[in-house]
Copies of this chain bind each other. A is one copy, B any other.
Amino acid sequence: MWKVSEEIRERMQAVSEALKAAESVYIFSHIVADGDALGSCAALCRAMRRAGKKADILFEDDIPDNLKFLDRGYVRFVDEDTQLEKRDLCVALDCSSTSRFPKREHLFRSAGEKTVCIDHHISRQDMADLNYVDSTASATAEIMYELLLVMGEEPDREIGEAIYTGIATDTGNFQYTNTTKKTHLITAELYDLGIDTKKINVILYQSVRPQKLRLRNLILDEMEMFCGGLASIAWVTLEMYREADAKVDESDGINAVLRDIRGVEIGVFLREKHKDEIKVGMRSKEYLDVSEICAGMGGGGHRHAAGCTLHCTLPEAIPRVKDAVEKALSAFQAENPGLLKSPEE
């Protein structure tokens, strides 16, 4: 069995004790849930219910189709007007700010005697009464695995599949640099629980709707390279969704495609949410800090993945974003001559 280090065991102590003492919890995560958000929530909810406690995951938006298998009657949908009975704890997983679940903020703040936050994102300030944040963990699900061991809750197959989903999706299948030796060692142990990786991978990656492929084709048909091939940009309009008969989340993943082009350091994707509201997503491959570029346009995020919202039309947004990227790349090249090689040179 995986041995949690003494240091981590100690740091987890307060959160572990609070969860063990609690008889009832509400579990929260960010909107537009991904595999790690719902995977971590499902693992904790399952463990708490198995221990005879009241536990529910509260959601304010849809569960993506390919993650529905994780919800075994755990999720309750609520909105800004929902009032709920008070419970011992409100636990937020995989997010460190209530702005990530705006319609549930009032519940997080008032429906629990105490609040807890468990996350692997770097955060500027503590959001809860008790906080466990470890930015070296590949996923919140990786933290959750250790936390359950510290709590003395033995993981079972269902918990294993939820943890696996969180780790596999947040690491791009063990590909991103957040993947560590520990990530692989913990994943190895999940196999002992009898997890069905075939089933999970078919659900996660082999259930793409043809409409999504059509949408992707429409988007990539319009893709442009700029900055001599160091950057790529593409966009999706409301009309393109209609033409492809696709759902909004079916443009997800395009940002990675734009970044994965040879020579590209920054990939930019613009999504027309309304005629005058454009969501900008930015990814960098190696050197540039795109959270800085997005901060300059009122957004933020991580070093290699960030975003912002522009209140203008798409034809207005495109040159504005390109200009910001060009300036950042020029500044970087001036400071680091020769590091970025334009593939078109």
Query: Are A174 and B173 within 8 A (Cβ)?
Result: yes
- Among A168, A208, A263, the most chain B Cβ lie within 10 Å of the Cβ of A208
Task: Give the oligomeric copy count.
Answer: 2
**A226 contacts B by Cβ under 8 Å:** no
Query: Are A213 and B175 within 8 A (Cβ)?
Result: no
Interface residues of A in 136-153 (CB under 8 A from B): none
B-contacting 9-mer, from A25-33, A78-86, A178-186: A178-186
**A8 contacts B by Cβ under 8 Å:** no
Given known contacts A177-B197, A223-B213, A286 and B188 CB-to-CB distance under 8 angstroms: no
**A187 contacts B by Cβ under 8 Å:** yes
Query: Are A184 and B181 within 8 A (Cβ)?
Result: no
**A217 contacts B by Cβ under 8 Å:** yes
What's the minimum C-beta distance from A247 to chain B, rounded to whole angstroms?
12
**A191 contacts B by Cβ under 8 Å:** yes
- Give CA–CA (A187, B184) in the complex, Å: 7
Query: Are B175 and A209 within 8 A (Cβ)?
Result: no
Which B residues are CB-close (under 8 A) to A184? 184-185, 187-188, 191
Query: Are B260 and A205 within 8 A (Cβ)?
Result: yes
**A261 contacts B by Cβ under 8 Å:** yes
Which B residues are CB-close (under 8 A) to A177? 197-198
Interface residues of A in 204-239 (CB under 8 A from B): 205-210, 213, 216-217, 220-221, 223, 225, 232
Which B residues are CB-close (under 8 A) to A209? 261-262
- Give CA–CA (A202, B287) in the complex, Å: 12
Given known contacts A185-B185, A257-B213, A179 and B197 CB-to-CB distance under 8 angstroms: yes
Which B residues are CB-close (under 8 A) to A87? none
Query: Are A221 and B225 within 8 A (Cβ)?
Result: no
Given known contacts A180-B191, A191-B181, A202 and B286 CB-to-CB distance under 8 angstroms: yes
In the complex, the 10 A-B pairs of residues with the closest C-beta atoms, listed nearest first: A184-B188, A181-B191, A173-B173, A207-B262, A206-B260, A184-B184, A181-B188, A185-B188, A177-B198, A184-B187
